[in-house]
Amino acid sequence: MNNLQVNLVWNNFGIDNSNNSILPSGLNCLQRDTPCFIGSPHQSSFAVDSGGSRPIRGSDNSIYEPDDASLPVASYYVTNSTRWGVSNIGRFMDSANGSYIIYTSRRFTNTLDSELFQTARMSPSSLRYFGIGLKNGMYSVVLQFAEIFFPDDQTWKSVGKRIFNIYIQGDLKETDFDIKKQTNGKSYTAVQRQYTVEVTNNVIDIHLFWAGKGTCCIPEQGFYGPSISALSVSSYGTVTCAIN
């Protein structure tokens, strides 16, 4: 029981000034019905370099903020600016990869933003990103992926498969999404998915979920499940502020 860890993100806990001080920092911003800045939004865009350690300006002119926080087992992180947060649930059994971040020094030739794809964040089960304090309205969500762990050579290691589902605002956008399948089996190749979604409660929820498909142990333990290299969210069309 001493090893029990619980992720309380995206629940409906009532958090006010009387109990906020004893709870982990940022948890109040990641509640389903009462996120931070509800009714008083402060932004209409954000971008994240998953696994990155420094800000990067992308070819879309967005500043991709670093996301290198250690998120083992059941944990979350909210930026000091309270612009976005990330949550992980799950544990890679018998794995030496405790950070859930993977790296490569390879260059990517099919994108202007090669550096964004040299890192990625993984999760054994559930990986979520939250945009906090967004103005209500329509948004463009761009998710960027690359398979940087399973090679595309002729060795047995290349048979590893990473398959997961993609939800945004609770709606299923992709079922059994396989990064390498989008590139005809090529690794180290950028893949982009773009969606238009509506924000109605000043928060956006991007959820990558492993449903038990793909491989778990090839070429070694602890590298299956959802993986993402970068993401960006920006207002699309008219953006309105919530009125209480």
**pLDDT, tens digit, 9 for 90 and up, residues 89-111:** 888 776 665 668 999 999 998 99
C-alpha closest to that of 195 among 154, 149, 232: 232
d(CA 183, CA 189): 7
What are the structural domains, with CATH classification, of the chain? 37-240 (2.60.120.430)
- Amino acid, res. 228: I
Strand ranges, E, within 72-170? 74-78, 84-89, 101-103, 119-122, 126-132, 136-145, 163-168
Rg (CA), the chain: 18
C-alpha closest to that of 64 among 17, 112, 125: 112
Residue 49 has pLDDT above 70, yes or no: yes
Report the chain's terminal Cα–Cα distance, integer Å: 43
- Amino acid, res. 30: L
pLDDT, tens digit, 9 for 90 and up, residues 191-211: 999 999 999 999 999 999 999
d(CA 163, CA 97): 19
pLDDT at 4: 39
Residue 158 has pLDDT above 90, yes or no: no
pLDDT band (50, 70, 90) for residue 9: low
pTM: 0.88
Question: Which has more pLDDT, 218 or 42?
Answer: 42
pLDDT, tens digit, 9 for 90 and up, residues 10-27: 555 555 555 555 455 677
Q: Are 135 and 240 in contact (CB under 8 A)?
A: yes
Residue 184 has pLDDT above 50, yes or no: yes
Q: Are 178 and 138 in contact (CB under 8 A)?
A: no
Please give the average per-residue pLDDT across 49-61, as a whole number.
97
pLDDT at 152: 86
pLDDT at 1: 36
Question: Please, what is the Cα angle at 103 between 5 and 142, to 5 degrees?
Answer: 80
Average model confidence (pLDDT) for the chain?
85
